[in-house]
Amino acid sequence: MTYQPGFLPLSKIERNKLGIRQFDIILVTGDAYVDHPSFGTALIGRILWDAGFTVGIISQPDWITAADFTVLGKPRLFFGISSGNVDSLVNNFTPNLKRRSDDVYSPGGIPKRPDRATIVYTNRVHELFPDTPIVIGGIEASLRRFAHYDYWQDRVRQSILADAPADLLIFGMGERQVVEIARRLACGETISSLRDVRGTVFGMEIAEWRSKRPEGIIELPGFTEVALDKISYARAFALHYYEQDTVRGRTIAQSHPKTVVIQNPPALPLSTEELDHIYDLPYSRRAHPSYTERVPALESVQFSVTSHRGCFGACSFCALTHHQGRIIQSRSTESIIREVTRMTRMPEFKGIVQDVGGPTANMYCLSCSLWEKYGVCRDKHCSPLCKTLKTSHSDQVELLKKLREIPGVKKVFIGSGIRYDLALADDSGYLEMIGYHHVSGHLKVAPEHVTKKVTEIMNKPGREVFNRFCERFETLQQGKKRRQYLLPYFMSGHPGCSITDMIELAIYIRDHQLYTEQVQDFTPTPMSVSTCMYCTGLNPFTLEPVHVPKGIEKKIQRALMQYRDPRNRQLIIEGLKAAGRMDLIGNGRKFLIPADDRDTNQYVLKHHKNEKRK
Ligand code: SF4
């Protein structure tokens, strides 16, 4: 392993101390620099350093003046720019489009990230260093790589590569791509010649596209077409969705008024050895010492471990399929043990491993025998019903057992959500074991809804599977001194969901005593299947119409999930009236809200007391 500094340099002083005159690469990010593998800039910086390149970081620059962008000088190879760990609009606004007053990725939680950070930073760097190549990446660039619906402007925007003066865009997890780009530039290739790097997108002049259009490219309906026509948008979405597979994905092009955006096939998945190597790099797991205030986002992940990447669940409202993909890439047990052992040597570690997981906790080491040769099925969703899918959680059981035995470890928690249909299909005692050792009172599960129509459109298992899981979970609690509870997540306002569906969900929550104050209201974030439905009112795979709750209906749906909150009374009454369900207003447990306004507060208090007693 190449020598790495304790922290990657943020300043000229640190650069000079390391004896570096000019950095090879400078990374610009909207996040604070936290040297932890769950912060993208730290991970990419460490990997580049490991590959033999010197890397400086410009974190949360003031984009109004030039000073912050010029502080580290000009890099020898390229600038790598990202908005940070999250899309800047998702980060800066609530789902109701109110500006947030804090930013968990910033020291002291003080917001310092501009809206559309990738575009803002790229423009600034391009003005100041017009001859230096710029590569953009991270979740914001990755999920805005084609023409896409933007909820914050309520319109279809161009690919971010048509808006930002960048030379290349890295999509998905970027380790392979960024190292290949750095190596090839270092060997003398020019950035404009790098048109064959898997997992990247580049722009081509329209004249060149017309004269040399390469063979075998999937051409999407262009920006102008998808911005005006919903059917074209839905078709374009389905076409690029199908091509996101690492094995069978092909090159895709989409024309824009001033450029043609071309996406190469996705990067190949990392092997276990490659993943192990990335997580074995010497992250300090701390925020850079120059910060005088804590970075809130570090607190929940400082002692968490990523065991795998990818998720084959493909929930419609999640864009992970377009970023990490559906194929699971798992680390070895030994590598995870090494990481936890390193944590135990940190004075801040109190013996608690906060989480061991990935996008879905219980997909570690699960795989389908078809993935390596054929990729994931194009028209079918991976589920325990597939005979070729390995559903035994034995590797996870073994891993967790070994982590519990590491000296200095008192508890190992699973904080990520689990996929309950997979847990039900397991025969290795996973559920029993996590209930006993790895859950601190509540196990997170995400049924999201209960009506068939909505769970199908969300691509979630149906109500009957969730009911079976609840029964099994309840059986496991019998005779226990310290029982565990399920913490289910439900969602309102999803495309395909009507007020009648939400009433059915509210009744289900009431009858199964699953009421929670936490509500997820659907937000159309870039590049998810559900966002495509929200924008077009169509299912992109069938082109069938989908009902899209908006405006007052969306508010009513949200209120129905929080039926105990007296502030929601008027909205709920409107919803019940619209659905012809005024029979649900009355006094007693079989009603949703009390008959008399004056009873509301009494009713809420009584139910809160009952809940506490339970
Ligand atoms: S067979 Fe099933 S598990 Fe395997 S890739 Fe196809 S859908 Fe996924």
Taking the centre of ligand 1 as the mean of its atom positions, its distance from the CA of residue 612, in whole angstroms, is 44
The string of DSSP codes covering 481-519 is: SS--EEEEEEEES-TT--HHHHHHHHHHHHHTT---S--
Which of these ranges, 147-151, 168-172, 321-325, 433-437, has the smallest mean pLDDT? 321-325
How far, in Å, CA of 120 to CA of 164, rounded?
8
pLDDT digits (tens, 9 = 90+) for 54-77: 999 999 999 999 999 999 999 999
Taking the centre of ligand 1 as the mean of its atom positions, its distance from the CA of residue 231, in whole angstroms, is 28
- pLDDT for 605: 53
Taking the centre of ligand 1 as the mean of its atom positions, its distance from the CA of residue 365, in whole angstroms, is 15
How far, in Å, CA of 113 to CA of 295, rounded?
14
Rounded mean pLDDT, 222-232: 98
Taking the centre of ligand 1 as the mean of its atom positions, its distance from the CA of residue 84, in whole angstroms, is 33
Listed in sequence order, the residues at least 6 apart from 387 whose beta carbon sits closer than 8 Å to its beta carbon are none
According to DSSP, residue 405 is labeled: T
The residue whose CA is least distant from atom 8 of ligand 1 is 382
Nearest atom of ligand 1 to the alpha carbon of 374: 5
Taking the centre of ligand 1 as the mean of its atom positions, its distance from the CA of residue 379, in whole angstroms, is 10
Which of these ranges, 23-32, 93-102, 154-163, 228-237, has the smallest mean pLDDT? 93-102
Which of these ranges, 178-187, 227-236, 321-330, 540-549, has the smallest mean pLDDT? 321-330
Q: What is the pTM of this model?
A: 0.93
- pLDDT for 412: 97
- pLDDT for 614: 45
- pLDDT for 1: 60
The residue whose CA is least distant from atom 7 of ligand 1 is 382
pLDDT of 602 above 90 = no
pLDDT of 534 above 90 = yes
- pLDDT for 597: 63
Q: Which residue has the tokens 């948008």?
A: 233
Contact 312, 358 (CB under 8 A): no
Phi-psi region of 527 (alpha: psi -120 to 50; beta: other; left: phi over 0): left
The residue whose CA is least distant from atom 3 of ligand 1 is 382
Rounded mean pLDDT, 23-48: 98
The residue whose CA is least distant from atom 6 of ligand 1 is 377
Average pLDDT, the chain: 94
Nearest atom of ligand 1 to the alpha carbon of 385: 2
Taking the centre of ligand 1 as the mean of its atom positions, its distance from the CA of residue 461, in whole angstroms, is 16
Taking the centre of ligand 1 as the mean of its atom positions, its distance from the CA of residue 384, in whole angstroms, is 9
Residue 590: pLDDT band (50, 70, 90) is confident
Phi-psi region of 610 (alpha: psi -120 to 50; beta: other; left: phi over 0): alpha
How far, in Å, CA of 598 to CA of 585, rounded?
13
pLDDT digits (tens, 9 = 90+) for 478-523: 888 778 888 899 999 999 999 999 999 999 999 998 888 888 999 9
Backbone dihedral angles phi then psi of residue 27, each to the nearest 5 degrees = -100, 135
Pocket of ligand 1 (CB under 6 A): 368, 370, 376-377, 380-382, 386, 388-389
Rounded mean pLDDT, 522-535: 97
Alpha helices in 265-324 (DSSP H): 272-279, 296-301
Q: How far apart are the first and last CA of the chain?
A: 55
Kindly state the percentage of the chain with pLDDT values over 70: 97
Taking the centre of ligand 1 as the mean of its atom positions, its distance from the CA of residue 425, in whole angstroms, is 15
pLDDT digits (tens, 9 = 90+) for 413-442: 998 889 999 999 998 999 999 988 998 888
- pLDDT for 3: 82
Residue 607: pLDDT band (50, 70, 90) is low
Ligand 1 pocket: which of 248, 377, 378 to mutate (most atoms within 8 A of CB): 377
The residue whose CA is least distant from atom 5 of ligand 1 is 376
